[in-house]
Amino acid sequence: MCGRFVSSSPPDELAKYFDVEQVADKVLEESYNVAPSNDVYVVVETGGIRRLETFHWGLIPFWAKDPSAGNKMINARAEGLAEKNAYKRAFTKRRCIIPADGFYEWKKVPGQKAKQPYFIQRADGEPLAFAGLWEVWRPKDTARDEGDDGDVIRSCTIITGQPNEKIAEIHDRMPVMLPPDKWAEWLDPENDDLATLGKLLVPAPASLLAVHPVSTAVNNVRSRGAELTAPIDPDADGQDRLL
Protein backbone atom coordinates (compact mmCIF):
# COMPACT_ATOMS: atom_id res chain seq x y z
CA MET A 1 0.00 0.00 0.00
CA CYS A 2 0.98 3.65 0.13
CA GLY A 3 -0.26 5.57 3.16
CA ARG A 4 2.30 8.37 3.46
CA PHE A 5 4.51 10.14 0.97
CA VAL A 6 6.65 13.23 0.44
CA SER A 7 5.61 16.25 -1.61
CA SER A 8 8.40 18.82 -1.53
CA SER A 9 8.84 19.90 -5.16
CA PRO A 10 7.25 23.29 -5.93
CA PRO A 11 4.48 23.38 -8.56
CA ASP A 12 6.55 25.19 -11.18
CA GLU A 13 9.19 22.44 -11.05
CA LEU A 14 6.52 19.73 -11.25
CA ALA A 15 4.90 21.50 -14.20
CA LYS A 16 8.20 21.53 -16.05
CA TYR A 17 9.04 17.93 -15.20
CA PHE A 18 5.64 16.57 -16.25
CA ASP A 19 5.32 18.88 -19.29
CA VAL A 20 2.21 20.56 -17.89
CA GLU A 21 0.50 23.36 -19.81
CA GLN A 22 -1.65 24.83 -17.02
CA VAL A 23 -1.02 25.05 -13.28
CA ALA A 24 -3.72 25.46 -10.64
CA ASP A 25 -3.71 28.66 -8.60
CA LYS A 26 -3.65 26.79 -5.30
CA VAL A 27 -0.13 26.20 -3.95
CA LEU A 28 0.27 23.48 -1.34
CA GLU A 29 2.69 23.73 1.56
CA GLU A 30 5.57 21.30 1.19
CA SER A 31 5.17 18.21 3.35
CA TYR A 32 7.50 15.32 4.11
CA ASN A 33 4.57 13.39 5.56
CA VAL A 34 1.54 13.70 3.30
CA ALA A 35 -1.33 11.73 4.84
CA PRO A 36 -4.72 10.52 3.62
CA SER A 37 -7.38 13.26 3.33
CA ASN A 38 -4.70 15.88 2.57
CA ASP A 39 -4.84 17.79 -0.70
CA VAL A 40 -2.18 16.62 -3.15
CA TYR A 41 -0.85 17.62 -6.55
CA VAL A 42 -2.09 15.59 -9.50
CA VAL A 43 -1.39 15.67 -13.23
CA VAL A 44 -4.50 15.25 -15.35
CA GLU A 45 -5.46 15.75 -18.97
CA THR A 46 -8.81 17.27 -19.89
CA GLY A 47 -9.87 18.95 -23.12
CA GLY A 48 -6.52 18.05 -24.67
CA ILE A 49 -4.64 20.09 -22.05
CA ARG A 50 -2.31 18.63 -19.44
CA ARG A 51 -2.84 20.31 -16.06
CA LEU A 52 -1.33 20.29 -12.59
CA GLU A 53 -4.23 20.39 -10.13
CA THR A 54 -4.81 19.86 -6.41
CA PHE A 55 -7.20 17.07 -5.41
CA HIS A 56 -8.30 15.45 -2.16
CA TRP A 57 -6.39 12.22 -1.43
CA GLY A 58 -8.95 9.47 -0.92
CA LEU A 59 -11.19 8.74 -3.91
CA ILE A 60 -14.86 9.56 -3.40
CA PRO A 61 -17.01 7.63 -5.91
CA PHE A 62 -19.60 9.78 -7.67
CA TRP A 63 -22.35 7.61 -6.17
CA ALA A 64 -21.15 7.95 -2.55
CA LYS A 65 -23.63 9.39 -0.07
CA ASP A 66 -21.01 11.62 1.55
CA PRO A 67 -17.27 12.41 1.27
CA SER A 68 -16.32 10.08 4.14
CA ALA A 69 -16.35 7.21 1.62
CA GLY A 70 -12.95 8.42 0.46
CA ASN A 71 -11.31 7.61 3.80
CA LYS A 72 -11.07 3.94 2.79
CA MET A 73 -10.02 4.55 -0.82
CA ILE A 74 -6.56 6.08 -0.61
CA ASN A 75 -5.22 3.12 -2.61
CA ALA A 76 -6.73 1.07 -5.42
CA ARG A 77 -5.42 -2.41 -6.14
CA ALA A 78 -4.29 -2.78 -9.75
CA GLU A 79 -5.92 -6.19 -9.90
CA GLY A 80 -9.55 -5.90 -11.01
CA LEU A 81 -9.82 -2.13 -11.55
CA ALA A 82 -12.05 -2.66 -14.57
CA GLU A 83 -14.58 -4.68 -12.54
CA LYS A 84 -14.85 -2.79 -9.25
CA ASN A 85 -17.72 -0.28 -9.01
CA ALA A 86 -15.63 2.24 -7.11
CA TYR A 87 -12.94 2.40 -9.79
CA LYS A 88 -14.09 1.13 -13.19
CA ARG A 89 -15.47 4.47 -14.43
CA ALA A 90 -12.35 6.33 -13.35
CA PHE A 91 -10.09 3.65 -14.84
CA THR A 92 -11.86 4.10 -18.15
CA LYS A 93 -11.93 7.91 -18.33
CA ARG A 94 -10.22 9.56 -15.35
CA ARG A 95 -6.64 8.47 -14.90
CA CYS A 96 -4.00 10.71 -13.38
CA ILE A 97 -0.42 10.88 -12.19
CA ILE A 98 0.30 11.74 -8.56
CA PRO A 99 3.82 13.21 -8.21
CA ALA A 100 5.83 12.26 -5.14
CA ASP A 101 9.37 12.90 -3.97
CA GLY A 102 9.39 9.59 -2.14
CA PHE A 103 7.15 7.49 0.09
CA TYR A 104 7.23 5.53 3.33
CA GLU A 105 6.58 1.90 4.04
CA TRP A 106 6.66 -0.05 7.31
CA LYS A 107 8.33 -3.41 7.87
CA LYS A 108 7.46 -5.92 10.56
CA VAL A 109 10.43 -6.60 12.84
CA PRO A 110 10.62 -10.06 14.47
CA GLY A 111 10.27 -9.79 18.23
CA GLN A 112 9.15 -6.16 18.15
CA LYS A 113 5.65 -4.75 18.34
CA ALA A 114 6.51 -1.53 16.49
CA LYS A 115 7.20 -1.66 12.75
CA GLN A 116 10.30 -0.05 11.26
CA PRO A 117 9.56 2.73 8.73
CA TYR A 118 11.58 3.05 5.53
CA PHE A 119 11.88 5.93 3.09
CA ILE A 120 11.82 5.02 -0.60
CA GLN A 121 12.76 7.43 -3.37
CA ARG A 122 14.20 7.45 -6.86
CA ALA A 123 17.93 6.75 -6.76
CA ASP A 124 18.51 9.78 -9.02
CA GLY A 125 16.41 12.10 -6.85
CA GLU A 126 13.82 12.85 -9.53
CA PRO A 127 10.07 12.78 -8.75
CA LEU A 128 8.11 9.55 -8.80
CA ALA A 129 5.04 9.33 -11.03
CA PHE A 130 2.41 7.30 -9.20
CA ALA A 131 -0.38 5.93 -11.38
CA GLY A 132 -3.71 7.17 -10.03
CA LEU A 133 -7.42 7.56 -10.65
CA TRP A 134 -9.61 10.56 -9.99
CA GLU A 135 -13.30 11.31 -9.60
CA VAL A 136 -15.74 14.18 -9.18
CA TRP A 137 -18.22 14.06 -6.31
CA ARG A 138 -21.22 16.36 -5.92
CA PRO A 139 -23.84 16.51 -3.19
CA LYS A 140 -27.08 15.02 -4.45
CA ASP A 141 -28.83 18.37 -4.30
CA THR A 142 -26.22 20.03 -6.55
CA ALA A 143 -27.26 20.30 -10.18
CA ARG A 144 -24.63 19.30 -12.72
CA ASP A 145 -25.19 22.43 -14.80
CA GLU A 146 -24.74 24.85 -11.92
CA GLY A 147 -21.81 27.20 -12.31
CA ASP A 148 -20.82 27.16 -8.64
CA ASP A 149 -18.33 24.37 -7.93
CA GLY A 150 -18.08 25.24 -4.25
CA ASP A 151 -19.46 21.90 -3.01
CA VAL A 152 -17.77 19.77 -5.67
CA ILE A 153 -14.85 17.59 -4.52
CA ARG A 154 -12.24 16.27 -6.92
CA SER A 155 -10.46 13.34 -5.34
CA CYS A 156 -7.84 10.75 -6.24
CA THR A 157 -6.37 7.40 -5.29
CA ILE A 158 -2.95 5.82 -5.77
CA ILE A 159 -2.85 2.50 -7.62
CA THR A 160 -0.81 -0.23 -5.94
CA GLY A 161 0.44 -3.51 -7.32
CA GLN A 162 2.95 -6.27 -6.74
CA PRO A 163 6.32 -5.17 -5.30
CA ASN A 164 9.69 -5.49 -6.98
CA GLU A 165 12.36 -7.56 -5.25
CA LYS A 166 13.69 -4.60 -3.26
CA ILE A 167 10.34 -3.49 -1.85
CA ALA A 168 9.23 -7.10 -1.28
CA GLU A 169 11.73 -7.23 1.59
CA ILE A 170 9.65 -4.55 3.33
CA HIS A 171 6.05 -4.95 2.16
CA ASP A 172 3.91 -7.06 -0.16
CA ARG A 173 2.50 -4.07 -2.12
CA MET A 174 3.95 -0.93 -3.69
CA PRO A 175 2.65 2.06 -5.68
CA VAL A 176 2.62 1.66 -9.44
CA MET A 177 5.15 4.09 -10.95
CA LEU A 178 4.87 5.12 -14.58
CA PRO A 179 7.93 5.81 -16.76
CA PRO A 180 7.91 9.06 -18.80
CA ASP A 181 7.29 7.30 -22.11
CA LYS A 182 3.96 6.00 -20.75
CA TRP A 183 2.59 9.23 -19.30
CA ALA A 184 0.73 10.38 -22.42
CA GLU A 185 -0.84 6.96 -22.93
CA TRP A 186 -2.00 6.79 -19.32
CA LEU A 187 -3.38 10.33 -19.13
CA ASP A 188 -5.27 10.31 -22.44
CA PRO A 189 -8.99 10.27 -21.51
CA GLU A 190 -9.87 9.08 -25.01
CA ASN A 191 -7.83 5.93 -24.51
CA ASP A 192 -10.26 3.26 -23.28
CA ASP A 193 -8.17 0.22 -24.15
CA LEU A 194 -8.26 -1.17 -20.62
CA ALA A 195 -6.39 -4.34 -21.49
CA THR A 196 -3.41 -2.36 -22.77
CA LEU A 197 -3.62 0.15 -19.92
CA GLY A 198 -3.63 -2.70 -17.45
CA LYS A 199 -0.27 -3.86 -18.81
CA LEU A 200 1.26 -0.58 -17.59
CA LEU A 201 0.49 -1.49 -13.98
CA VAL A 202 3.69 -3.41 -13.30
CA PRO A 203 6.41 -3.03 -10.63
CA ALA A 204 9.05 -0.38 -11.25
CA PRO A 205 12.58 -1.80 -11.63
CA ALA A 206 14.35 -2.29 -8.31
CA SER A 207 17.32 -0.33 -9.68
CA LEU A 208 15.13 2.79 -9.94
CA LEU A 209 14.74 3.04 -6.17
CA ALA A 210 16.87 3.77 -3.12
CA VAL A 211 15.68 2.63 0.33
CA HIS A 212 16.78 3.39 3.88
CA PRO A 213 15.31 3.15 7.40
CA VAL A 214 14.01 6.33 9.04
CA SER A 215 12.85 7.44 12.47
CA THR A 216 9.48 6.37 13.85
CA ALA A 217 8.76 10.11 14.14
CA VAL A 218 7.08 9.71 10.73
CA ASN A 219 4.32 7.77 12.49
CA ASN A 220 2.97 11.07 13.81
CA VAL A 221 0.95 12.79 11.06
CA ARG A 222 1.67 16.16 12.66
CA SER A 223 5.38 15.72 11.90
CA ARG A 224 6.07 17.11 8.43
CA GLY A 225 9.70 18.27 8.36
CA ALA A 226 12.55 17.20 6.08
CA GLU A 227 14.27 15.45 9.00
CA LEU A 228 11.76 12.61 8.63
CA THR A 229 13.62 11.32 5.57
CA ALA A 230 17.04 11.25 7.27
CA PRO A 231 18.58 7.74 7.43
CA ILE A 232 18.94 6.15 10.85
CA ASP A 233 20.53 3.10 12.39
CA PRO A 234 17.55 1.26 13.91
CA ASP A 235 19.82 -1.15 15.82
CA ALA A 236 21.77 1.48 17.77
CA ASP A 237 20.91 0.79 21.43
CA GLY A 238 17.43 -0.21 20.34
CA GLN A 239 16.59 3.39 19.44
CA ASP A 240 16.42 5.49 16.30
CA ARG A 241 19.82 7.08 15.73
CA LEU A 242 20.66 9.35 12.81
CA LEU A 243 23.46 8.13 10.59
Q: Could you give the residue numbers annotated as active site?
A: 2, 105
Rounded CA separation 64/194 (Å): 24
Q: What is the DSSP letter of 142?
A: S
DSSP 242: B
Residues in the chain: 243
Question: 47: left (phi > 0), else alpha (psi -120 to 50), else beta?
Answer: left
| 136: phi then psi, degrees, rounded to nearest 5 | -120, 125
Closest among 163, 188, 194, 195 to 177, alpha carbons compared: 163
Q: 125: phi > 0 → left, psi -120 to 50 → alpha, else beta; which? A: left
Q: How far is CA 237 from the centre of its chain?
A: 34
Phi-psi domain of 238 (left: phi exceeds 0; alpha: psi -120 through 50; beta: other): left
3-state DSSP assignment of residue 186? helix
Residue 95, Cβ density class (10 Å: 0-12 exposed, 13-18 middle, ≥19 buried): buried
